[in-house]
Amino acid sequence: MTLAVPLLLSAATACSSSNSDNKPSGQTEPSASSTASGGDKPEQATVSFLSNWNGGGGSFPQDQVNNPVAKRVKEVTGVTLKMESITTNETEKLNTIFASGTVPDMVNAPFWSTTGGEGQVIKKAALEGQLLDLTPYLDKYPNVKKLLTTGVAKDFAEFELNSPDFQGKTYVIPMQTPDGTPESIHNWNYGLYARGDILKALNVNPEDIDTEDKVFDLLAKIKNGNFKDISGKPVIPAGTMHDGWDYGQFLKGWSDYTISDYRQDSNGKLSYWMFSKDEEDKLLYMRKILSNGLFDPEAFSNTDTMANEKLATGKLAVFAAQDMAEQLDKTLYKSNPEMQYELLGPMKNKSGKIATQVEKPGRSGFPVIFLSAKIKNPDAALRFLDYINSDEGRLLAYWGIEGKDYQMENGVPKWIPDVKQKYDNDPDSMRDAGLKYLNGNFIGGFSNDVAWPKSEDEKTKREKMQGSYSAKMPIQIIDKVSANYLAWDWPKYQQFRDTTSSLNYGDEFKKALFAKTDDQALKILHDIQDKFRAAGADEMTEYVAQKAAERNDIGF
């Protein structure tokens, strides 16, 4: 999800191929297979594309046009991508392009919910006519059409992806969704990771560090241990990646296996998540590690560049996020392999179980692709997406050129040995061959691990390492409908949304982290909680509890 820092291109330039001619063509597009076998040459088109993810350009090849994969894509689809990415906040960038009317032809952006963040901005833009309605095109592009249902949670599809407000129109295409099987759900390996050499010097077994108290004690030992980064400067005991992502991993002792904003106690009584006493405990714990000099005070203002520099130099003794192994393979693990980070714990949640990723059978919230309402040639963009999500296109995206990069053996692609060695030794050469940007941005409803399972001897050291993390933190699946959606029928729900739209609990929580005293910090916390109570959060929770009692498929 978080990648190396890209070269930021101009949004205005990226929109240069757009105008208001976006009606479906009456002509039938040549199929990818007919083109590949020497059929009609497809119409040539340049499509501007924005990866609206902080650091998303890290997967882009240095030469966007002439790398082998891009040349093959153009040969089959006629499409040349003109790509840009961001190193700023995703929501802010979306607000900027929609406000200025400089929406690139095609955008990949977060879509976690339509009631907040990026998803809310995207939904608003769709209802204002800034996104192309894809409905008239879908039958023409079956591989794109399948993405709308494959690996998507049923409740998310009903209430968010196909929001009733859209009146049957389709505006976004899910990306990075599983293939519909539990085995295909991607494990992101979120957790706490500590430098192995420091653990060894302290004679600490990483598996023993599984509670917040043990983490605090470890960080205190690190602070007093005079440990250095690769340049000989003192380490920071703990930190995160950009914008504080993901400091919540330090607070897993107050989490549980949940799929909604409501918490049910042992007596079955529901409460709204932010009113839990756990919020006070989390706040005071974070203040404790900050005030003792055990946590990076810059964590919440880190840019992607700053965070990756700290990671690459071993500056952070412990970090909270995904395993970040792909970036570290290119930097710290190459120069200082003894500093390889190890997974702590896993951490225990409040029920004493491992704190791990919780999913429904299909994914709820994912990256999406949307097209600008002003796109000049929507067929070109959809032809591109349809091909990339075909069997042939996915092989190209993940494996490159058959006979040059890989050979098929019993229906499974295998790297040509010399190529594998080259890519293992130099991951950037793999990126620059075009073998990173397509699968990261344009493919959904699919799992390469399920489609092309690797034997242990075929896996890289990094893949084995990441697999070991996933084995320790297996995904927990809850096959229920999220209680969140029950609130949408509450008569005062829109009023609640309007009243709380300007409130940002997360920002207030972060502000409280740096208050002068614990009392002042708790006052900041209680003030924002009181504003949500005044808006009707308790009444909404009572309504949800009543509705949930009438059903047996609701999950909290």
pLDDT digits (tens, 9 = 90+) for 333-365: 999 999 999 999 999 999 999 999 998 888 999
Residue 101 has pLDDT above 60, yes or no: yes
The string over 408-428, giving b where at least 16 C-beta atoms fall within 10 Å of a residue's C-beta and e elsewhere, is eeeeebbbeeebbebbeeebe
Q: What is the pLDDT, as a whole number, of residue 185?
A: 85
Query: Do strands 106-111 and 366-371 pair parallel, antiparallel, or not at all (unpaired)?
Result: antiparallel
To which H or E segment does residue 174 belong? strand 173-174
Q: What is the pLDDT, as a whole number, of residue 41?
A: 82
Q: What is the pLDDT, as a whole number, of residue 475?
A: 94
Q: What is the pLDDT, as a whole number, of residue 26?
A: 33
> At CA 402, angle to CA 397 and CA 406, rounded to 5?
85
Q: Which two tokens stand for residue 162?
A: 């196909």
List of residues 6+ apart from 212 with CB closer than 8 A: 250, 251, 253, 285
For 226-250, the pLDDT digits (tens) are: 999 999 999 999 999 999 999 999 9
Mean pLDDT of 181-208: 95
Q: How far apart are CA 429 and CA 420, in angstroms?
A: 11
Residue 140 has pLDDT above 90, yes or no: yes
Q: Which two tokens stand for residue 482?
A: 């999220």
Q: Of 56, 64, 84, 5, whose CA–CA distance to 331 is shortest? A: 5
Distances (CA, A) of 325 to 116, 186, 196, 313: 30, 15, 14, 14
Same fold for the domain at 45-183+363-450 and the one at 191-359?
yes
For 312-326, the pLDDT digits (tens) are: 999 999 999 999 998
Residue 289 has pLDDT above 80, yes or no: yes
Q: What is the pLDDT, as a whole number, of residue 12?
A: 32
- Span of 13-22, 189-198, 251-260, 508-517 with lowest mean pLDDT: 13-22
Residue 6 has pLDDT above 60, yes or no: no
What is the phi/psi pair of residue 446, to 5°? Answer: -160, 150
What is the phi/psi pair of residue 55, to 5°? Answer: 85, 10
**Which CATH fold would you assign to the domain 191-359?**
D-Maltodextrin-Binding Protein; domain 2 (3.40.190)
Percent of the chain with pLDDT over 90: 83
Q: What are the DSSP calls for 219-273, one per residue?
A: HHHHHTTT-B-TTSPBPEEEEESGGGTTGGGGGGGG--S-SSSEEE-TT--EEEG
Q: How far apart are CA 186 and CA 478, in angstroms?
A: 15
Q: Band of the pLDDT at 36, cuts 50, 70, 90?
A: very low
- Span of 79-88, 263-272, 450-459 with lowest mean pLDDT: 450-459
For 195-223, the pLDDT digits (tens) are: 999 999 999 999 999 999 999 999 999 99
What is the phi/psi pair of residue 31, to 5°? Answer: -75, 160
Mean pLDDT of 408-420: 91
Largest CA distance in the chain: 73
Mean pLDDT of 357-376: 94
Q: Band of the pLDDT at 331, cuts 50, 70, 90?
A: very high
Residue, of 458 and 520, whose pLDDT is higher: 520
For 277-286, the pLDDT digits (tens) are: 999 999 999 9
What is the phi/psi pair of residue 13, to 5°? Answer: -65, -40
Q: What is the pLDDT, as a whole number, of residue 182?
A: 85
Q: What is the pLDDT, as a whole number, of residue 181?
A: 87
Q: How many CA atoms lie within 13 A of 301 on its CB side?
A: 5
Please check whether residue 499 is in contact with residue 537, taking contact to mean a CB–CB distance below 8 angstroms: no
Residue 488 has pLDDT above 80, yes or no: yes
User: What's the Rg (C-alpha) of the chain?
Assistant: 24
Q: What is the pLDDT, as a whole number, of residue 183?
A: 87
Q: What are the DSSP calls for 104-129, one per residue?
A: -SEEEEEES-TTSHHHHHHHHHHHTT
Pick the CATH number of 45-183+363-450 from 1.20.1300.10, 3.40.190.10, 3.40.630.30, 2.40.50.140: 3.40.190.10
Q: Write down the mean pLDDT value for the chain.
A: 91
The string over 132-156, giving b where at least 16 C-beta atoms fall within 10 Å of a residue's C-beta and e elsewhere, is bbbeebbebbebbbbbbbbbbbebb
Q: Which two tokens stand for residue 439?
A: 């699968």
Percent of the chain with pLDDT over 70: 93
Residue with tokens 């609640």: 496
Q: Band of the pLDDT at 25, cuts 50, 70, 90?
A: very low
Q: Band of the pLDDT at 410, cuts 50, 70, 90?
A: confident
Q: Collapse the DSSP code of 368 into the 3-class scheme (helix H, G, I; strand E, B; otherwise coil) and give the result.
A: strand
Residue with tokens 């009317």: 101
Please check whether residue 521 is in contact with residue 515, taking contact to mean a CB–CB distance below 8 angstroms: yes
Distances (CA, A) of 112 to 20, 91, 161, 313: 29, 12, 10, 32
Q: Band of the pLDDT at 30, cuts 50, 70, 90?
A: very low
Domain ranges of the chain: 45-183+363-450, 191-359, 483-550
